[in-house]
Amino acid sequence: MKATFGEHDGCFAIDLVAETKEEAAKLVRFGMNRTDEIRHCSARVTAQGEFSAVIVFGKSKRANSEVPRRK
């Protein structure tokens, strides 16, 4: 998965691009099953100088793990 992080006037953006079929399926399921609830969001730096961030979205209680077929 390729991730790009951007900063704009009023927001931050994380763009994800699938590089395999499995990653594409995960992005489709994310689009179908996520909620707008952000359960966790943080950024940190370690003593070794490593920077990282994490954002966790809620998942629908009726989440479906199957990717619909295109007709």
**Domain residue limits, the chain:** 2-59
Structure confidence at residue 66 (pLDDT): 73
Residue 22's SS3 state is helix
| Distance between CA atoms of residues 23 and 19, nearest Å | 6
In the block, residue with structure tokens 């199957």:
66
Structure confidence at residue 63 (pLDDT): 78
| Distance between CA atoms of residues 65 and 54, nearest Å | 23
Give φ, ψ of 69 to 5 degrees: -80, 140
Asked whether 58 and 34 are in contact (CB, 8 A), the reply is yes
Structure confidence at residue 71 (pLDDT): 72
Q: Spell out the per-residue pLDDT of the chain, length 71, in tens.
A: 999 999 999 999 999 999 999 999 999 999 999 999 999 999 999 999 999 999 999 999 887 777 667 67
Tokens describing residue 18: 């699938």
